[in-house]
Structure 1
Amino acid sequence: MVDETIGKFRVISIPFDNVKTTSCAFIVKSGSADEPDPLAGVSHYLEHVVFRGTKKYDHFQLKYIVESVGGVLNAFTERRATVFYIKVPEMNFLKSFDVLKSLVFEPTIDEESVEIERKVILEEYKMNRDDPVSYLHDLLFENVWEGPFGRPILGYEDTIRSISKEELVEYHDKMYFPRNMIVVLAGRVNGAFIDVVRKELEKIDKEGEKKDNGFPNFTYPSSAIYEVRNDMEQVHIALAKPVPGMESSDYPAMALLNTALGSGMSSLLFHEIREKEGLVYDIYSQIYALRETGVLVIYSSMSPSNLGRFFEKLKKLLSSIQILEKFDYGKNRLLGKLEMMTESPGSVMGFVVDRLVCGLESYDMDSLMEEIKSLNRLDFEKVAKEVLSGSWAVFGLGPDSARLDFSILEV
């Protein structure tokens, strides 16, 4: 793995032998948390619009050059970054890299493209509102993270309708400059490829400046938040708790705890609440982490008649020592999943990109694995007691009949 400066870019190369594909990502260190309130959703809007065409390629050519050889061209927006990436056969890398570079730096943002994508994004916004899982998570973050970190990444219907072509052009000009980016390559990354990438990146001399947007504090709502949707047969529940961020020395133990708690069919929550009780179809836990802070979320859905028993069982599990019995499962599963990632260039690049997107400078998977291997039961017990006990913010979405049993969860 090589981490170097090429021109004004930070470039990370992860070579793999005996593979025939190459992946590349441009990480723009600007996401929804960087947006002023009137432009909520502009990062995601821009991510869409650049695919409408560039100075060198029209919207069909952009996709066809990559997809016609079986490759992938895509992008996503997070709170602290927007990422554009390709994965292609080795023989097609240089042409696809040119497409990716043109997409990021030379989009032709015209009125027609802006209006077409406005309709597309509004459809995506409506789809998210109709999807109870997506909508519930948006509701959760709006209430536990203050300011722009808590806003939906897509923005709001009124901001999506009001963002103009001029504002998109200005935002692109302000945020898309080399020192605000990281380029990551993985797979068949040979010397000839690096020479071409170096030559192309050194041509881009744009300067800019971006302020650090800090990080959000976790705020507990004064009571449980429940939104009535009488067209639903189930009630969807999410519980949230603040946890250490990725830079914390406790984060590896926290990742182990999350795995033991709600990752896989053998996890504590799945085994005890679905397999033994039959109260739910799906239940899992997940960490949403930034560098400085994070949120542990437990999600499930069930019939309203099961809600009371669900909370009763969940509270008992979170306050018991049963989680300690899952130490070996959590540790071995977490290490195993990381080890399996090392076989795939795309997975390793994804791991590196995810950590950089969260604001970390460090991305070494081997170091993380060593930290996890060194964890003992006392480390696990300490973090479990600190995290699982106390108050959990509770959010729900479903029919009015489920609201009767609804309450803040105290463990």
Structure 2
Amino acid sequence: MTPPARAGSTDPGPGAQAPARAVTRTLTSDPLGGTVRRTVLPSGLRVLTEAIPTTRSVSFGIWVAVGSRDETGPLAGVSHFLEHLLFKGTRKRTALDISAEIEAVGGETNAFTTKEYTCYYARVLDEDLPLAIDVMCDLVADSVLDPADVETERGVILEEIAMHDDEPGDEVHDLFAEAVYGSHPLGRLISGTEETVTPMTRRQIHGFYRRRYTAPSIVIAAAGNLDHAAVVKLVRQAVRGTPLDSAPAGPSAHRPGSPVARTRSARTLVEHKDTEQAHLMLGCPGIGRLDDRRFALSVLNNVLGGGMSSRLFQEIRERRGLAYSVYSYASQYADSGLFGVYAGCAPGKADEVLELIRSELATTARQGISAAELARGKGMVKGAYVLGLEDTGSRMSRLAKGELLFGDLLSVDELLAQVDAVTAEQVNTLAAELLSRPMSLAVVGPFDEGSFA
């Protein structure tokens, strides 16, 4: 459920009619951070900032509401391919210019692609923010996608895919997503595969770029020692004359939570590899990020496998010494999610470890958690959240995700209050429902398909 808009809001929300002029409002004034402001430009481009005067740096990010789940099968991996290519040059800058200008002032820049969004970001000294804005807006808005660069990056991406295949601890998570989602885009690799990346043409990539990288689908976020009005002015200057300097439009609505992504019936997938360790993933479909139960799920996840005091860690590693790494996690998308448990162990101990995981999940589903575990789980969630906001990069990400994924920004205090409000009954009800679902199993190791029948 999307949080309600702030009282006194005068600017249009996501998906609303285009404003005739830029509209700015203050979202929060947070005692744990600074003042957050939001401006919607006539093009639908959104700019959010958090002023933190006690820092000497600024993190600046451009977030695009497109990821691997927005690709057709033949174009699987195009979002990630494009992420690479945008750093290769614009009409004003070569690839060397892009990297050299930021590095010359001691800054850093990078990007990443997820299943539902892509982010390009830079971190610089506060005095160098105008440079970072100009460079980052230039590469996102006005890349040329030179055919020679397409071929160069194709080779780089194919090497990246091969490197991923050599990391069984990472591969098993992708295999688990495939077990749950099958051919649905959420079940595919973000990077694409050799079969989809190899034939992809420059024309296809450019078409995807211009269709999906539009002003209404982009959120710009910055946090650090900055002035909001100055940032907005610099952004407008940087995109002037580019495809992001477009006709008036309202901001795109955040990705809807329905219809729910299609999942498959529970199954076992085994990838045979001659590894020294078995990599196991056991889990099921979870809940979407707009589900009111997401705070209860965070508490439940921490109790089960979120730290060294968790049930799974204590039982499998501390008491029995069967695995070095064992944890649970929850991934959440707009309309769906995953809940899973990972363990890495000696191949000969895989059956015993799986039996212990199944037993712990069944016990938790049946008996729930204790009052002490509830308190500890809440403390872990709140501590991780607040400690994760100690730098400008995480603050910048908070602004963008609130706007792009939820359509609103809760203050730190509001989020902590949501966690505090979680009850044992809510957690136990969710555990009984979630952990009783049929479980899919993904395994990478020296096994054949019949080993876990």
The TM-score normalised by the length of structure 1 is 0.92
In 2, Cα distance between the equivalents of 1:152 and 1:41? 7
In 2, Cα distance between the equivalents of 1:210 and 1:129? 36
- Aligned partner of 2:433 in structure 1 is 386
Distance 1:73 1:355, change over 3 A: same
In 2, Cα distance between the equivalents of 1:365 and 1:384? 28
Distance 1:181 1:24, change over 3 A: same
Identify the range of structure 1 (192-201 vs 388-397) with the bigger mean alpha-carbon deviation.
Answer: 192-201
- Aligned partner of 1:130 in structure 2 is 166
Check if 1:104 corresponds to 2:151: no
Query: Of the candidates 143, 154, 172, which is equivalent to residue 118 of structure 1?
Result: 154
In 2, Cα distance between the equivalents of 1:179 and 1:385? 41
Distance 1:355 1:260, change over 3 A: farther
Query: Of the candidates 249, 256, 263, which is equivalent to residue 299 of structure 2?
Result: 256
Check if 1:16 corresponds to 2:88: no
Query: Of the candidates 111, 123, 129, which is equivalent to residue 75 of structure 1?
Result: 111
Give, in angstroms, the shift of residue 403 of structure 1.
5.3
Distance 1:151 1:353, change over 3 A: same
Query: Of the candidates 191, 197, 202, which is equivalent to residue 235 of structure 2?
Result: 197
In 1, Cα distance between the equivalents of 2:95 and 2:150? 13
In 2, Cα distance between the equivalents of 1:29 and 1:288? 18
Equivalent position SS for 2:286:
strand
- Aligned partner of 2:27 in structure 1 is none
Q: Equivalences for 1:79-94 in 2 at 5 Å?
A: 79-94=115-130
CA contact (8 A) 1:125 1:157 kept: yes
- Aligned partner of 1:164 in structure 2 is 201
Distance 1:284 1:403, change over 3 A: farther
Equivalent position SS for 1:265:
coil
CA contact (8 A) 1:21 1:187 kept: yes
- Aligned partner of 1:4 in structure 2 is 39
Give, in angstroms, the shift of residue 199 of structure 1.
4.1
Per-residue deviation, residues 143-177 of structure 1 (Å, max 9, x unmatched): 31242222111111111111111111111111111
Distance 1:355 1:224, change over 3 A: farther
Identify the range of structure 1 (205-214 vs 289-298) with the bigger mean alpha-carbon deviation.
Answer: 205-214
In 1, Cα distance between the equivalents of 2:280 and 2:391? 35
Per-residue deviation, residues 329-382 of structure 1 (Å, max 9, x unmatched): 21101101112233322112223444556x321332432221101112222222
Distance 1:6 1:65, change over 3 A: same
Equivalent position SS for 1:3:
strand
Greater share of helix: 1
In 2, Cα distance between the equivalents of 1:402 and 1:275? 30
Equivalent position SS for 2:282:
strand
Check if 1:296 corresponds to 2:339: yes
Give, in angstroms, the shift of residue 202 of structure 1.
6.2
CA contact (8 A) 1:27 1:83 kept: yes
Identify the range of structure 1 (322-331 vs 76-85) with the bigger mean alpha-carbon deviation.
Answer: 322-331
Query: Given residue 393 of structure 1, which amino acid in structure 2 is its aligned partner?
Result: S
In 2, Cα distance between the equivalents of 1:129 and 1:363? 38
Query: Given residue 234 of structure 2, which amino acid in structure 1 is its aligned partner?
Result: V
Per-residue deviation, residues 278-317 of structure 1 (Å, max 9, x unmatched): 0001011111111222111211111122122212221221
Distance 1:245 1:363, change over 3 A: farther
Per-residue deviation, residues 3-56 of structure 1 (Å, max 9, x unmatched): 220232112111112111111111111111111211111111010011111111
Equivalent position SS for 2:275:
coil
- Aligned partner of 1:174 in structure 2 is 211
Return 5+ residue gaps in structure 1 as ranges: none
Give, in angstroms, the shift of residue 198 of structure 1.
4.0
Query: Of the candidates 40, 53, 65, which is equivalent to residue 29 of structure 1?
Result: 65
The TM-score normalised by the length of structure 2 is 0.84
Deviating above 6 A after TM superposition, structure 1's stretches of 4 or more consecutive aligned residues are: 208-213
CA contact (8 A) 1:242 1:296 kept: yes
In 1, Cα distance between the equivalents of 2:449 and 2:147? 46
- Aligned partner of 1:287 in structure 2 is 330
In 1, Cα distance between the equivalents of 2:450 and 2:409? 43
- Aligned partner of 1:274 in structure 2 is 317
CA contact (8 A) 2:138 2:239 kept: no
Check if 1:220 corresponds to 2:265: yes
Distance 1:276 1:316, change over 3 A: same
CA contact (8 A) 1:233 1:303 kept: yes
Distance 1:274 1:354, change over 3 A: farther
Check if 1:206 corresponds to 2:243: no
CA contact (8 A) 2:307 2:313 kept: yes
CA contact (8 A) 1:261 1:323 kept: no
CA contact (8 A) 2:302 2:381 kept: yes
Check if 1:363 corresponds to 2:409: yes
Give, in angstroms, the shift of residue 67 of structure 1.
2.1
Equivalent position SS for 2:135:
helix
CA contact (8 A) 1:225 1:396 kept: yes
CA contact (8 A) 1:76 1:83 kept: yes
Equivalent position SS for 2:109:
strand
Give, in angstroms, the shift of residue 401 of structure 1.
7.2
Equivalent position SS for 2:169:
helix
Equivalent position SS for 1:233:
coil
In 2, Cα distance between the equivalents of 1:398 and 1:319? 26
Aligned residues: 403
Identify the range of structure 1 (124-133 vs 185-194) with the bigger mean alpha-carbon deviation.
Answer: 185-194
Query: Given residue 206 of structure 1, which amino acid in structure 2 is its aligned partner?
Result: S
In 2, Cα distance between the equivalents of 1:263 and 1:25? 29
Distance 1:199 1:98, change over 3 A: closer
